[in-house]
């Protein structure tokens, strides 16, 4: 194979469109030329000059006075002007998302081609700054992007403190902490590997499961049929991370079904009010703290029998006494007193005996615990 010259000429900058047969060059601060199939198609002058150009789904032009302007590749019409001074612009492969990186942070925007087409057709929502509904702000992150790439709806990037992260649905996931400056080269889905290189031409790769990215992309698009189809291909070790992502997107029920971490599952079940699931997880964990939380949930649901069982397992005798007195159950109060005395919870035991009129047991408990002055006073 040989590399052959297809086109040449003077240019200050060169950028591709998403289609590799189309590109643009910046000849000067006032002139941009567009090429199709390596032949000049159009030369145009942006309204406020052009000090930098950016390729992708739309053609971006940077101006120090007005910020970033996006133009349509075919018609050269202004789509939207944004008051921002970008350093880098990254478009997703389908043109749905764009990342605009500045010297201090980056913004994730969602592009709506449908809204642009409707605005042009109806002549509504079009201002001197373009079409108002063309973009929606998805997120802003205070990190400096060095190199970046979109995989589906996930934006993978290296930042200024040598971390390899990806952004999806408002969540930032750290893939690796880099020991030196590395530059993102690309991603090979069939290998589940992300490749980076340094200036000495060393290549480093990191595992990044395509199934996880596909699942998160499907969730972002609200395509749960695809998500459910992809889920079985995600190894169990990675499912809790996916569950945290679902939770942050507000899909707690799906997160509960996906998570493999008992602590995370318990928290999700508790927030969803899934009493039976909470009870089962508390049985497996055997934690007094969990039993108390399940008891609170059972009381909120009016399941006093379940609440009583949980409070007993949590050794929460004040709680048991409160429930017994609230329901006016004298035999239950006596039972709580016996249980509490057996566990050395003498204050609860004394109060239980006193409430049920078992004064002899009260006196014996005071003597047994060596509270002789109190016993004498009580006997009087």
> Is residue 134 situated within a structural domain?
yes
| pLDDT per position as a tens digit, 39-93 | 999 988 888 888 999 999 999 999 988 899 999 999 889 999 999 999 999 999 8
Is residue 125 domain-shared with residue 20, that is, in the same domain?
A: yes
Range of the domain at 132: 9-140
Domain limit, last residue, from 114, 140, 166: 140
pLDDT at 181: 93
> Is residue 275 situated within a structural domain?
yes
Is residue 342 domain-shared with residue 298, that is, in the same domain?
A: no
Q: ∠ CA(265), CA(270), CA(271), 5° rounding?
A: 100
Residue 98 contacts by C-beta under 8 Å, 6 or more apart in sequence?
A: 56, 57, 58, 89, 90, 91, 92, 108, 109, 111, 135
Average pLDDT over residues 266-291: 84
> Is residue 136 situated within a structural domain?
yes
> Is residue 302 situated within a structural domain?
yes
Q: Are 145 and 88 in contact (CB under 8 A)?
A: yes
pLDDT at 178: 92
> Is residue 38 situated within a structural domain?
yes
Is residue 275 domain-shared with residue 377, that is, in the same domain?
A: no
> Is residue 54 situated within a structural domain?
yes
Q: Are 316 and 295 in contact (CB under 8 A)?
A: yes
Is residue 278 domain-shared with residue 362, that is, in the same domain?
A: no
Is residue 375 domain-shared with residue 265, that is, in the same domain?
A: no
Is residue 46 domain-shared with residue 133, that is, in the same domain?
A: yes
Task: Give 155's pLDDT tier (boundaries 50, 70, 90).
Answer: very high
Is residue 129 domain-shared with residue 27, that is, in the same domain?
A: yes
| pLDDT per position as a tens digit, 163-206 | 999 998 788 888 899 999 999 999 998 888 999 999 999 999 99
| Arithmetic mean of pLDDT over the chain | 86
Residue 299 contacts by C-beta under 8 Å, 6 or more apart in sequence?
A: 307, 323
Domain limit, last residue, from 113, 140, 167: 140
> Is residue 80 situated within a structural domain?
yes
Residue 159 CB neighbours (<10 A): 20
In total, how many domains does the chain have? 3
Average pLDDT over residues 322-334: 73
pLDDT higher than threshold 80 for residue 349:
no
Domain limit, last residue, from 125, 140, 155: 140
> Is residue 120 situated within a structural domain?
yes
């Amino acid at each position: 194979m040989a590399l052959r010259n297809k086109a040449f000429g003077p240019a200050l900058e060169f950028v591709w469109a998403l289609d590799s047969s189309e590109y643009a060059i910046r000849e000067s601060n006032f002139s941009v030329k567009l090429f199709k199939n390596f032949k000049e198609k159009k030369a145009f002058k942006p309204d406020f000059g052009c000090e930098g150009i950016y390729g992708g789904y739309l053609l971006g032009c940077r101006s120090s006075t007005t910020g970033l302007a996006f133009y349509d590749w075919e018609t050269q019409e202004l789509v939207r002007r944004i008051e921002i001074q970008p350093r880098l612009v990254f478009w997703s492969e389908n043109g749905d998302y764009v990342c605009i990186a500045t010297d201090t942070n980056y913004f994730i925007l969602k592009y709506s081609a449908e809204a642009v087409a409707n605005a042009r057709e109806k002549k509504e929502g079009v201002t001197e700054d373009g079409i108002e509904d063309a973009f929606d702000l998805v997120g802003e992150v205070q990190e400096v992007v060095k190199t970046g790439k979109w995989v589906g709806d996930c934006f993978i990037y290296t930042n200024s403190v040598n971390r390899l992260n990806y952004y999806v649905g408002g969540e930032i996931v750290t893939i690796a902490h880099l020991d030196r400056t590395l530059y993102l080269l690309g991603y090979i889905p069939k290998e589940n590997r992300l490749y980076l290189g340094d200036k000495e031409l060393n290549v480093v790769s990191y595992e990044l499961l395509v199934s996880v990215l596909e699942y998160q992309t499907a969730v972002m698009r609200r395509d749960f049929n695809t998500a459910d189809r992809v889920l079985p291909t995600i190894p169990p070790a990675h499912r809790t991370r996916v569950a945290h992502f679902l939770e942050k997107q507000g899909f707690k029920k799906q997160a509960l079904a996906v998570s493999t971490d008992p602590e995370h599952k318990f928290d999700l079940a508790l927030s969803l009010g899934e009493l039976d699931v909470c009870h089962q997880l508390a049985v497996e964990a055997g934690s007094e703290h969990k039993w108390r939380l399940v008891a609170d949930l059972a009381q909120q649901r009016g399941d006093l029998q379940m609440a009583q069982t949980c409070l007993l397992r949590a050794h929460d005798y004040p709680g048991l006494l409160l429930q017994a007195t609230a329901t006016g159950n004298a035999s239950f109060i006596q039972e709580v007193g016996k249980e509490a005395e057996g566990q050395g919870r003498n204050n609860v035991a004394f109060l239980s005996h006193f409430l049920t009129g078992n004064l002899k047991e009260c006196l014996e408990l005071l003597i047994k615990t060596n509270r002789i002055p109190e016993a004498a006073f009580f006997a009087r």
